[in-house]
Amino acid sequence: MKKIILSLMLLTALVFPSGIFADAYSQGEVNYNISIDKKIRPINDSNFYDNIGRDQKVFVNDDVVDYRIVVENTGKDILYDLIVTDYYPVVNQIILAPGEINKANRQIIWKIETLNPGESKTFTIRAKVINSSTWNSQTNVVDVKNNNVYDKDTATFYLNGKVIPVTGNSDLVVKSGIVLSLSIVALALRKVARGY
Residue 64: give its domain's CATH number. 2.60.40.740
In a domain, 124, yes or no: yes
In a domain, 17, yes or no: no
**Better pLDDT: 142 or 10:** 142
User: How many domains are contained in the chain?
Assistant: 1
pLDDT in tens, 134-190: 668 899 999 999 999 999 999 999 988 655 555 555 566 667 677 777 778 777 777
In a domain, 9, yes or no: no
Instruction: Enter the pTM of the model.
Output: 0.68
Name residues whose C-beta falls within 8 Å of residue 46's C-beta, 6 or more positions apart in sequence: none
Domain residues for the domain of 151 are 34-159
Q: How high is the mean pLDDT of the chain?
A: 84
pLDDT in tens, 20-49: 444 444 456 888 999 999 999 999 999 999
**Better pLDDT: 18 or 144:** 144
Strand partners, 137: 158
In a domain, 191, yes or no: no
In a domain, 69, yes or no: yes
Q: How long is the chain?
A: 196
Q: Is the pLDDT of residue 86 over 50?
A: yes
In a domain, 175, yes or no: no
Cα distance between residue 196 and residue 191, in whole Å: 5
